[in-house]
């Protein structure tokens, strides 16, 4: 029997969720209700009932304003817009659920490690450790301008800042309070042992932080760390910090090669095999018969609009196709999401704007991992994909929300369970304990973050 895979739900506090641009126009989609807690209660409760590991919130800190040189198309098509703050959704949703974990995307480029440690420390307490952080360095120049910068930091500088950010974060959450610092005795009139709470006095290139952390040690201390680096520098970062890596690729062989590289990098920094789990984003279109699944796919295609995808591509990569005629070769250089740039095969003629437009005419954009068919077909495809790629799990990107989640929960979960690929036993405890085979709540001693603990 196979061992169960990890499954999470990928969402964004937005109408036009990343990965499904323009599908909010589908008649069965309710993402226009983004501002309603009732909508999110339904999503979170369905995810919890289906025993998903986590509800993941993607996030951006600016509008997609590269396409046509303004944000008009992005607000018109709701491309990752509006972008409400996931930190505000999660406490409410944690109160409305008991077991479901939440992963919040937050940026090391535009946040400060002191306030970030405080927010995550507080949230980890209030949710009993059901919290993860998707560490991102951000890729929109509009975000840079929202935070007082003329332009975005270069890719390498974003990662350098992120590395120092992590050290400050760990010093605060892992190091500044001893694990047993809190006494909490009314009799002794002693909350915490003074000698067990220390300043960190960090003085680095990007941050000066005295500390200590304003929050006491929480169930996980450091939230469970997710990251999606794919460039060589991104992989190095992932190998050092990530407990779960997210992959922006669909081809199982390419994923297997990338995973082996990241695992080798993790081993090289002293992390034993199995410390870095992996997930890829997956779209699922399913119905009781193959014919109905095809009809659903056609319905998605009818509600997919390529212009919204071009807006998304322009924001992700900085490459604005509105400026190119169909027969013009495209630039492939980017300071944004370099790994999202569409490139031809080596040796072929450079791709033209027309080639890329044609690729994007399909709802899967030519790039997305899609499992389609009857529930049995989908479960088989997932099994085959995971066996070849070596992935530990999938993050379900609902093309129609909440319809795709409902389909997954009702139709696909039982089929996956039959194959031993889905754990239907309700799981509780911290997010980290559920993802680790040893069930530990805290970072393992092999983690870079653990080196900052008080001895």
Under the rule (CB under 6 A), what is the footprint of ligand FMN?
Answer: 58-60, 105, 136-139, 228-231, 234, 246-248, 281, 337-339, 395
When the beta carbons of 138 and 374 are compared against ligand FMN, the nearer one is: 138
Per-residue tokens: 449: 């973050």
Q: Name the minimum Å distance from CB 213 to ligand FMN.
A: 25
What is the DSSP secondary structure assignment for residue 106, as one 8-state letter? Answer: E
* Backbone φ and ψ of 349, nearest 5°: -65, 150
| Closest separation in Å from C-beta 87 to ligand FMN | 13
Output the CA–CA distances (angstroms, integers) from residue 372 to 126, 264, 404, in the order listed. 39, 33, 12
For ligand FMN, the nearest residue by Cβ is 234
Specify the residue, 219 or 336, whose C-beta has the smaller distance to ligand FMN.
Answer: 336
Which residue, among 97, 91, 66, 90, has the nearest Cα to 79 in the 3D structure?
Answer: 66
Could you say which DSSP state residue 173 is in? I
Quote the tokens at residue 313. 């591509």
Q: Which is nearer to ligand FMN, 231 or 451 (CB)?
A: 231
**Cis (ω within 30 of 0) for the bond into 402?**
yes
> Min. distance of Cβ 206 from ligand FMN in angstroms?
18
Residue among 253 and 298 whose Cβ is closer to ligand FMN:
253
* Token reading at 197: 């709470």
Rounded least distance, CB 100 to ligand FMN, Å: 19
Dig out the tokens for 317 from the structure: 């990569």
- What's phi and psi for 288, nearest 5 deg? -65, -30
Residue 437, φ and ψ in degrees, nearest 5: -70, -25
Query: In sequence order, which ranges of 205-251 are alpha helices (DSSP H)?
Result: 232-241
Nearer to ligand FMN, 139 or 360 (CB): 139
**For residue 440, what are the contacts with CB-CB under 8 A and spacing of at least 6?**
432, 433
The span from the CA of 370 to the CA of 282, in Å, is 6
Least distance CB 235 / ligand FMN (angstroms): 7
| Of residues 143 and 409, the one with the C-beta less far from ligand FMN | 143
Least spacing, CB of residue 250 vs ligand FMN, in Å: 11
Cβ closer to ligand FMN: 10 or 114?
10
CB of 405 to ligand FMN, least distance (A): 16
Sign, CA dihedral 118-120-123-128, equals negative
Residues with Cβ within 8 Å of 438's Cβ and at least 6 positions away in sequence, in order, are 444
Burial class (CB in 10 A: 0-12, 13-18, 19+), 188: exposed
Q: Shortest Cβ distance from residue 212 to ligand FMN (Å)? A: 29
Nearest to ligand FMN of 316, 320 (CB atom): 316
Degrees (nearest 5) of the Cα angle 42, 22, 39?
15
Nearest-approach distance from CB 128 to ligand FMN, in angstroms: 25
Choice between 314 and 337, CB closer to ligand FMN: 337
Q: Which is nearer to ligand FMN, 395 or 421 (CB)?
A: 395
Q: Is the peptide bond before 185 cis (omega within 30 degrees of 0)?
A: no
Q: 367 in the Ramachandran plot: left (φ > 0), alpha (ψ -120 to 50) or beta?
A: alpha
What's the closest the beta carbon of residue 84 comes to ligand FMN, in angstroms? 13
């Amino acid at each position: 029997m196979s061992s169960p895979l990890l499954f999470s739900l990928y969402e964004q506090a937005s109408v036009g969720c990343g990965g499904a641009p323009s599908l909010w126009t589908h008649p069965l989609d309710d993402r226009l209700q983004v501002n309603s807690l009732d909508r999110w209660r339904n999503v979170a409760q369905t995810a919890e009932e289906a025993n998903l590991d986590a509800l993941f919130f993607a996030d951006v800190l600016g509008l997609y304003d590269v396409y046509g040189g303004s944000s008009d198309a992005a607000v018109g098509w709701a491309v990752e817009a509006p972008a409400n703050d996931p930190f505000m959704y999660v406490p409410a949703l944690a109160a409305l659920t008991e077991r479901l974990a939440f992963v919040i995307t937050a940026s090391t480029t535009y946040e400060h490690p002191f306030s970030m440690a405080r927010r995550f420390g507080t949230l980890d307490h209030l949710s009993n450790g059901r919290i993860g952080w998707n560490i991102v360095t951000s890729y929109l120049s509009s975000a840079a301008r929202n935070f007082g910068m003329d332009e975005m930091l270069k890719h390498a500088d974003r990662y350098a800042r992120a590395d120092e950010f992590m050290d400050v974060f760990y010093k605060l959450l892992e190091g500044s309070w001893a694990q047993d610092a809190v006494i909490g005795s009314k009799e002794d009139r002693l909350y915490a042992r003074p000698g067990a709470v220390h300043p960190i006095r960090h003085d680095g290139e990007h941050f000066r932080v005295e500390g200590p952390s304003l929050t006491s040690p929480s169930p996980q201390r450091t939230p469970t760390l997710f990251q999606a680096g794919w460039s060589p520098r991104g992989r190095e970062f992932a190998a050092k910090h990530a407990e779960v890596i997210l992959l922006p690729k669909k081809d199982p062989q390419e994923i297997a090669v990338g995973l082996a590289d990241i695992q080798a990098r993790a081993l090289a920094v002293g992390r034993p095999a199995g410390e870095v789990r992996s997930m890829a984003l997956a779209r699922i279109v399913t119905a009781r018969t193959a014919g109905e699944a095809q009809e659903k796919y056609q319905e998605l295609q009818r509600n997919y609009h390529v212009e919204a995808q071009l807006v998304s591509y322009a924001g992700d990569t900085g490459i604005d196709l509105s400026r190119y005629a169909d027969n013009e070769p495209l630039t492939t250089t980017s300071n944004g999401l370099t790994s999202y740039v569409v490139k031809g095969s080596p040796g072929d003629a450079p791709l033209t704007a027309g080639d890329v437009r044609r690729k994007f005419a399909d709802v899967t954009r030519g790039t997305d991992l899609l499992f389609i068919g009857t529930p049995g077909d989908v479960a088989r495809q997932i099994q085959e994909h995971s066996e070849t790629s070596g992935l530990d799990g999938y993050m379900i990107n609902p093309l129609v929300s909440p319809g795709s989640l409902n389909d997954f929960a009702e139709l696909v979960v039982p089929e996956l369970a039959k194959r031993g690929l889905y754990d239907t036993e309700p799981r509780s405890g911290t997010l980290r304990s559920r993802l680790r085979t040893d069930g530990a709540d805290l970072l393992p001693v092999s983690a870079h973050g653990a080196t900052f603990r008080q001895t």
